[in-house]
Amino acid sequence: MSEESKYLVEVKDLKQHFKVQQGFFGSTYLKAVDGVSFNIKPGETLGLVGESGCGKTTVGRTLLRLYQPTSGEVRFNGELVTDKNITSLRKEMQMVFQDPYSSLDPRMTVEDIIGEPLDVHHLYANKKERRDKILDIMQLVGLNAEHATRYAHEFSGGQRQRIGIARALAVNPKFIVCDEPVSALDVSIQAQVINMFEDLQAKLGVAYLFIAHDLLIVHHISDRIAVMYLGKIVEIADADELNDSPIHPYTLSLLSAVPIPDPNKARESKRIILEGDVPSPLNMPSGCPFRTRCKYATEKCAAECPTLTDRGNGHMVACWNK
């Protein structure tokens, strides 16, 4: 890693605008990601939370250049990620997809699914070494050797997600984008998969961008949490600090919706219910994207979009009035 950079992944003003056809001749741009910046240290987990449609998955996919970014830059290990070097960097940056059903090829055996990244990057000398590597990775994620010759449809959702995780780990990456990896699983299986992610991080030192909308899961696994709303990050802080001392009105609302296991505390807590609906990314409000649902909104909020400012201890908030 270069001396000047202590971060493994650096994202600066990343934008992803999709062209959308309107009528026969007109078109407009859907601003899925609109100027997102964050950093991730080696071996760290950054949780990215927000409601459905806020652009979380698009951030992860654009980071790995599965989507061509509209503008902004991504650096990995201090090196600028471009179309020319992304193929070589794929070995270092992998992704676990949300849906364990559609992200695995039904015509391939488990051995071939996990072995495909090894084939692409030529990471073995002979067939025996290839098979040994595949079996080692399968053991690492809790799959048996006899599973190797089976097909994806023969497995449960949790096992399929383990196959997807094994495929991502096959090339020994330093960074994995985990795109809602447990949202399609039963609650009991979710806990197993989350614990496995933590064990793998302890063993391999891999860094995660963990995308989810369940704040309890994100708080459990993350070192830091970034809260996203309508294509922008509105708050970033240490996981415990964000949970204990949230500042942005949207973060306060999200945390108020988290179930509390203690019935007495649950009765005392007040749910913050936001007014109105999320604006369309095709027709964004001027200034702060959250102002149309915020009780603190002023004329300044409509005129100018707030930038992330440090409120101490690296607690970054984008709000004029909090």
* All domains in the chain, ordered by first residue: 9-92+173-234 (3.40.50.300)
Instruction: Compute the average pLDDT of residues 310-316.
Output: 91
Q: How confident is the model at residue 38, as a pLDDT?
A: 96
What is the rounded average pLDDT for all residues in the chain? Answer: 91
For residue 279, name the pLDDT band (cuts at 50, 70, 90). confident
Model confidence over 20-79: pLDDT tens digits? 988 888 888 899 999 999 999 999 999 999 988 899 999 999 999 999 999 999 999 999
When pLDDT is cut at 50, 70 and 90, the band that residue 5 belongs to is: low
- Banded model confidence at residue 2, pLDDT cuts 50, 70, 90: very low
Note the pLDDT of residue 187: 85
pLDDT of amino acid 1: 46
* Global model pTM greater than 0.75: yes
Confidence of residue 213 (pLDDT cuts 50, 70, 90): confident
Model confidence at 259, pLDDT cuts 50, 70, 90, reads confident
Tell me what pLDDT residue 283 has: 84
Q: What is the pLDDT of residues 99-114, one digit of tens each?
A: 888 899 999 999 999 9
pLDDT for 284 equals 86
Q: Give the lowest-confidence range in 129-133, 137-141, 189-193.
A: 189-193
pLDDT, residue 4, reads: 52
Tell me what pLDDT residue 269 has. 75
What Å distances lie between residue 133 and 102, 114, 170, 193, 299, CA to CA? 25, 9, 8, 21, 60
Strand positions, DSSP E, 41-87: 45-49, 71-76, 79-80
Residues contacting 26, CB < 8 A, separation 6+: none
pLDDT at site 164: 95
Q: What is the rounded distance in angstroms from the CA atom of residue 154 to the CA atom of residue 138?
A: 16
